[in-house]
Structure 1
Amino acid sequence: MWNKIRFSILLIILISVFGFIYFNSPLRANKDHPIITGSFIQLDMTQHWNNDDWKNELNYFKENKMKYIIITNISQTQGNVTKTCYKSNIPGYKKIYGNVDPVELCLKNAEALNLKVFIEPNFNSDWWQILPDNYSWLNSQMNRSNIIADELYKKYHSRYPNAFYGWYFPYEVDNAKFTKASEFDNLSNAINLHLNYLDSKKERLPILLSPFMNSSAGSSKEYASNWQYLFSKTNFKNGDIFCPQDSIGSGRLKLEEVNSWYTALRKAVDKKPGMLFWANAENFDYVNNSSVPLDRFLKQLILESPCVDNIICFSYSHYYSPDNINSGFNKEYSYYVKNGKLPDRKLGIPQNLTISTLEKNKFKITWSSPENTDDICGYEVYRDNVLISRVIVQRKYGGSPERFSKSIIDIPLLKENTSSYTYTVRSLGFSGNVSKPSDPVTVKVDAINKLPHLLSRNCKYSIVPSPHEKYNDINLTKLTDGRYSSTNSVKDNALVGWYNEAVDVTVDLGKIESVQQFMVSYLRDPIPWAELPERASIGVSQDGINYTPIGLLRIPSVPFSDRYGSNYKIYLTLDKTINARYVKLTSVNKANYYIFMDEFEIRK
């Protein structure tokens, strides 16, 4: 009896504690379903828009209860050359986009619809190559931004006083590039240079910052601490807005990480009285550079809304607007805004799935649409129930029309004990709903038969060129020591990496051997720019001077669902043995990517 009483008391205490934590946490649920209240528009997309186009676009904003527009690319600098999309009187600046003034058209229509616009004065694209401790460069950008902001304010604010609402600070900071207090000091000094100038000119409006974050580069606590430090050093005022990108579309955060990062940043913002905390939700998918179905986007809003004061997105106009893509996205989102849920629509099943063999273990997969395609935005292709491809309707501006095809090429990774694959296709709806699968089609593939005699264990080898200094192999032992990476991350010490270079790894077997099979273990981890090679080949030699090419490694297709680090063991097996002492692997990198490998095996 006493045990039951003690258990009941303990249960009441636990419920009370949980309730207190929950209702005092930014993670508590909102009463209303979350919606976005604004969006970025990059003005290069609008270069051919007239007044009616702007009116139509901003009416979509109004109909979906949006209030804010953030316009960027108003003036763009590269090196010392600055181009403006409005007619500037600053000497040396060049007008682009003909006679169209998208700033004027945006503000004019926003004023009529009672929408508020944040304006980016200037951005120098050299930012992505500049080191964070280069304070003189960043300060010089603020000086240019100040002059342009002054011109923009004088040119437009008096005519559109309600629409011209705020400024946007375009230099995006992240926790991979900015890690030290001294770097945040430089950033704070630059921001103050900008804010103090606007104050002195009586042009100080709310300013919005939108940095991004990368969970593979550090922790939410570290990032929040750095921003709290910056807030303490910077002359922000009531109504200024800290609006981090949720980094879901770019893949730098996973959905399950969003709460912890926004909760940590919420605490940092709360240390700066008067500052607002917004989220910038990304409605695109980096894997196929396309619009994301609404189910994922709404998950972002649901996860972020309890932590923030407001949510905007990048970018409704680019990825969901009927002016730039199939109207189904806007139709489904508008339904959600009005009803608090996505519509439940049954989709037709793809028909006539056909697999043709292009060459050995390489297949062309084709299908036809169901009779009714009204609610379909694309198709998903599955191999043994693994999502390998998502074909989705493309944007008019920024998309690739040829990508929306009812046909894909698949080169499956060959594995041990796998001699066939079964394919199916499903229709994909704008809300992320899918149809039942098509009739399956099974194809035969070559199963890998790993040969028993490993010849290369602990053999010496040479590497040309040397690996990247962060991913080195100083003792030239990692690629033949039998140690595979355990974490599928570029941080794993078993891996060796090269950036943007073709690589030769030449193994000396110590004597002439009969060789027949070659295996290279590559890491693919797209967020830190690690990709499979463009191509790879094997050559052999008996004297180390004259090499005979014997074959290409078969680089497999990467499944759409492989979004983070994965290991790919790629084999080349000859029909018969060949004599060699030296075996050379040549891997040709994709431009501006890393190659990582942890083992190169030679067998017979």
Structure 2
Amino acid sequence: MLTFCLSALICCTGAVPMTSYSAESSPRISSSFIQNWYCRDWSPERWEQEFTAAGEAGFESLILQSSYDIVRGECRGEKHDPESYPSAESFCIFPSAVKADYHSSQNGGDALELALRAAKAADMKLWIGTVSDDMWWNYGWGQPDSYFVDWCGDNAKLSSSLIAEIWQRYGDEYGEQIAGWYYTNEVWNIDAACEGSDGGRYAEIIGGNIRECLESVKQSCPEKPVMISPFYNKDLSSPQQFGDFMTDLIYRSGFRFDDIYAPQDGGGRDYPPEVIRQWAVEQKSAVDGRMRFLINHECFGSELKAMPVESFVKNYSATADLGEGHIIFSWNHYYAPDSGLNRQFTEFNTGAVSGDVNGDGSFNVADLVLFQRRLLAVSGAELSDSGAADMCRDGILDVFDLCAMRRALIKK
């Protein structure tokens, strides 16, 4: 039954266009980050492509990591002093009333509207991040100083004003597309905070910053959640110390039950699954019903190269039972359609079965027969999942995929 005339097929078939597939099961990973610098000049068509491809990979939303970036440049004085960075530039993804050196080359400077429009067309959602400021990474070592206090105050005011302005500008038309807000400052296991030598000052200062942002959300769109995504360096503290710090920070921030704590899993530092789980367990204990708990999985290694999907799956499995949901940083950089790893990731994420072109959940001879009929352009021979037929993973459906499908069935 598996025998067929390849020569006849080669003569009478051409490539079949691929169409998007739909999976019955819920995706394992529901959302992926996207960065301001990467997408701020995308055309409307490019945004549509991104959301379409993300939907095909199983995502329900994208997370815009920031809407306003401050790139400090060269330091010419004390690194903790913002005045020491005269070459600092600001980039805003929409034409905000807040001064910025650059917005976007598209849509009159309004790339955020393009993103929301594309999300609406794709029936997906967009999380919107606040302010990314290089100065954040100059603090968090030793005891908090006056620079840090002042910076946190200024950062909170800027972030809060952007939240209010974005909602006022886009809420009426795109309120359904805005999934919530992402708190861009990545909190980590700061040494003094984790060992307790700061007397709780870091939790107090950062908590005050977060609380001001939360108040802006409550005033503009109280039903929208806020997400944070802390990370850790296992050489700076113990998991228990970090958990204690996070418990204090969550209390001082005033997070609500629907807000989200999504810790970075540490895969990007090449931490093994057992370490990833240990740190996730302690952070989940810190959240302890105060917030929703998701896991943010990194899909790159320490050399910033794409992590093999097999390794990603092992890291995911280490915490699969801990999070009520899972997100990824960053699919569009490492597992996007042109990465060569997209199909493998998509199969994992959606539960799709390679070769299952009729969509019945298994790969068998019926799939081979259907695909052969489709290549021969037999009337009524339509594939439920054309992506599953791309056995060669080259984006083209042809007789070579049919040969690969036959080999896979024989091996099976």
With normalisation by structure 1, the TM-score equals 0.48
Is the contact made by 1:228 and 1:271 (CA closer than 8 Å) also made in structure 2?
Answer: no
1:332 aligns to 2:309 (yes or no): no
**Correspondence list, 1:18-417, <5 A:** 35-77=28-70, 78=72, 79=82, 81-90=89-98, 92-100=99-107, 101-131=110-140, 133=144, 134-177=148-191, 178-179=193-194, 180=196, 181-202=200-221, 205-251=224-270, 253-272=271-290, 275-287=291-303, 289-322=304-337, 325-326=338-339, 328-339=340-351
- 1:542-585 Cα offsets, whole Å, 9 max, x none, are xxxxxxxxxxxxxxxxxxxxxxxxxxxxxxxxxxxxxxxxxxxx
Q: Give the whole-Å Cα distance in 1 for the aligned partners of 2:58 and 2:27.
A: 11
SS in 1 for 2:174: coil
Q: 1:259 to 1:341 in 2, by over 3 A?
A: farther
Q: 1:51 to 1:99 in 2, by over 3 A?
A: closer
Query: Counterpart amino acid of 1:329?
Result: L
- 1:505-563 Cα offsets, whole Å, 9 max, x none, are xxxxxxxxxxxxxxxxxxxxxxxxxxxxxxxxxxxxxxxxxxxxxxxxxxxxxxxxxxx
Identity %: 23
Q: Give the whole-Å Cα distance in 2 for the aligned partners of 1:165 and 1:277.
A: 16
Q: Give the whole-Å Cα distance in 1 for the aligned partners of 2:345 and 2:353.
A: 9
SS in 2 for 1:267: helix
SS in 2 for 1:307: coil
Q: Give the whole-Å Cα distance in 2 for the aligned partners of 1:191 and 1:308.
A: 23
Is the contact made by 2:305 and 2:334 (CA closer than 8 Å) also made in structure 1?
Answer: yes
Query: Counterpart amino acid of 2:231?
Result: F
SS in 2 for 1:76: strand
Q: 1:129 to 1:75 in 2, by over 3 A?
A: same
SS in 1 for 2:202: helix
- How far is 1:83 from its partner? 2.5
Query: Counterpart amino acid of 2:307?
Result: V
**Correspondence list, 1:451-462, <5 A:** none
Q: Give the whole-Å Cα distance in 1 for the aligned partners of 2:26 and 2:62.
A: 21
Q: Give the whole-Å Cα distance in 1 for the aligned partners of 2:29 and 2:269.
A: 19
SS in 2 for 1:53: helix
- 1:400-424 Cα offsets, whole Å, 9 max, x none, are xxxxxxxxxxxxxxxxxxxxxxxxx
Is the contact made by 2:66 and 2:184 (CA closer than 8 Å) also made in structure 1?
Answer: no
Q: Give the whole-Å Cα distance in 2 for the aligned partners of 1:189 and 1:209.
A: 14
- 1:26-56 Cα offsets, whole Å, 9 max, x none, are xxxxxx8972111000122224422222112
Between Structure 1 and Structure 2, the one with more strand by share is: 1
SS in 2 for 1:223: helix
Computing the radius of gyration over CA atoms, which structure comes out larger, 1 or 2?
1
Q: Give the whole-Å Cα distance in 2 for the aligned partners of 1:374 and 1:140.
A: 53
Q: Give the whole-Å Cα distance in 2 for the aligned partners of 1:176 and 1:162.
A: 37
SS in 1 for 2:48: helix
Between Structure 1 and Structure 2, the one with more helix by share is: 2
Is the contact made by 1:146 and 1:194 (CA closer than 8 Å) also made in structure 2?
Answer: yes
Q: 1:236 to 1:307 in 2, by over 3 A?
A: same
- How far is 1:262 from its partner? 1.2
- How far is 1:185 from its partner? 1.5
Q: Give the whole-Å Cα distance in 2 for the aligned partners of 1:99 and 1:57.
A: 16
- 1:344-381 Cα offsets, whole Å, 9 max, x none, are xxxxxxxxxxxxxxxxxxxxxxxxxxxxx9669xxxxx
Query: Counterpart amino acid of 2:201?
Result: S
Tell which has more relative contact order, 1 or 2 (C-alpha 8 A, sep 6+): 2
Is the contact made by 1:333 and 1:342 (CA closer than 8 Å) also made in structure 2?
Answer: no
Q: Give the whole-Å Cα distance in 2 for the aligned partners of 1:342 and 1:262.
A: 32
Q: Give the whole-Å Cα distance in 1 for the aligned partners of 2:313 and 2:26.
A: 9
Is the contact made by 1:86 and 1:96 (CA closer than 8 Å) also made in structure 2?
Answer: yes
Q: Give the whole-Å Cα distance in 2 for the aligned partners of 1:209 and 1:222.
A: 19
Query: Counterpart amino acid of 1:97?
Result: S
- 1:439-498 Cα offsets, whole Å, 9 max, x none, are xxxxxxxxxxxxxxxxxxxxxxxxxxxxxxxxxxxxxxxxxxxxxxxxxxxxxxxxxxxx
Q: 1:72 to 1:338 in 2, by over 3 A?
A: closer
Structure 2 residue runs of 5 or longer lacking an equivalent are 1-24, 73-81, 83-87, 356-390, 395-412
Q: 1:141 to 1:333 in 2, by over 3 A?
A: same
Q: Give the whole-Å Cα distance in 2 for the aligned partners of 1:44 and 1:283.
A: 19
Q: Give the whole-Å Cα distance in 2 for the aligned partners of 1:83 and 1:232.
A: 32
Query: Counterpart amino acid of 2:38?
Result: M
- How far is 1:202 from its partner? 4.6
SS in 1 for 2:157: helix
**Correspondence list, 1:435-450, <5 A:** none
SS in 1 for 2:151: helix
SS in 2 for 1:281: strand
Paired residues in the alignment total 308
Q: Give the whole-Å Cα distance in 2 for the aligned partners of 1:176 and 1:146.
A: 24
Q: Give the whole-Å Cα distance in 2 for the aligned partners of 1:123 and 1:265.
A: 24
- 1:259-278 Cα offsets, whole Å, 9 max, x none, are 11111212221252xx1001
Q: Give the whole-Å Cα distance in 2 for the aligned partners of 1:34 and 1:165.
A: 17
Q: 1:246 to 1:342 in 2, by over 3 A?
A: farther
Q: Give the whole-Å Cα distance in 1 for the aligned partners of 2:124 and 2:298.
A: 21
- How far is 1:212 from its partner? 0.2
Q: Give the whole-Å Cα distance in 2 for the aligned partners of 1:140 and 1:342.
A: 51
SS in 2 for 1:216: coil
**Corresponding residue of 1:413:** none
Is the contact made by 1:176 and 1:214 (CA closer than 8 Å) also made in structure 2?
Answer: no
